[in-house]
Chains A and B, each alone.
Chain A
Amino acid sequence: MGIVETIIGAIALLMAIRIFLTRSRARKLLYLCCLSFCISALIALYVNSPMGGIVAITYFICSTLSSNAIAYTIEQVKDIE
């Protein structure tokens, strides 16, 4: 267990708790994006092979897409209401 994994794990833990506790929806989304970046870095550090890099790239792109979809929907719901 290296120092880099420990620091990224601490950031991910902090973000997971803050997602659960924050009331604002937009801030929840911001912390979700940060958490998915942390998990992507942890994946690339955990699997010591080129396949781990491919998984990390795929997960990074797809989680960003998901967060953007939720942000767009929040804006649409504000427009409707």
Chain B
Amino acid sequence: MEILPLIAGICCVLGGIGVIVHTNPINKIIMFALLEIGMIGLIISSYYLDIAIISSLCEPICTIILLLGYLKYITTVKKKKRYGRNLPVLSK
């Protein structure tokens, strides 16, 4: 029995359950990183090494794009709340 496919499979299952269960967006992104770790381990355990290099190069880009989207979302929500107090003057 090999160690790497076992650990990668456990990481994949735990990451998949965690993405569903957790509610905070950053926790979801951390769990998604766990899922990606498991995916790369499973790719390497079947000896597709070039694909593993490409996917491990693309993994931080994907995470950074998700995090930039989350930051933009937080900023937009805060701005709406700040203007929300001033705008009802128009509706009166």
Contact = CB atoms under 8 A, between A and B. Distances in A.
Interface residues of B, number: 41
Grouping DSSP codes into helix (H, G, I), strand (E, B) and loop, the B interface class, with mixed when no group exceeds half, is helix
Interface of A: 1, 5-6, 8-9, 12-13, 16-17, 19-20, 25, 28-29, 32, 35-36, 38-39, 42-43, 46-47, 51-52, 54-55, 58-59, 62-63, 65-67, 69-70, 73-74, 76-77, 80-81
Contacts of B2: 1, 46
18 contacts: A6-B3, A9-B6, A16-B10, A16-B11, A19-B30, A28-B27, A39-B37, A39-B41, A42-B4, A47-B44, A54-B49, A58-B56, A59-B40, A59-B52, A66-B63, A69-B63, A73-B67, A80-B75
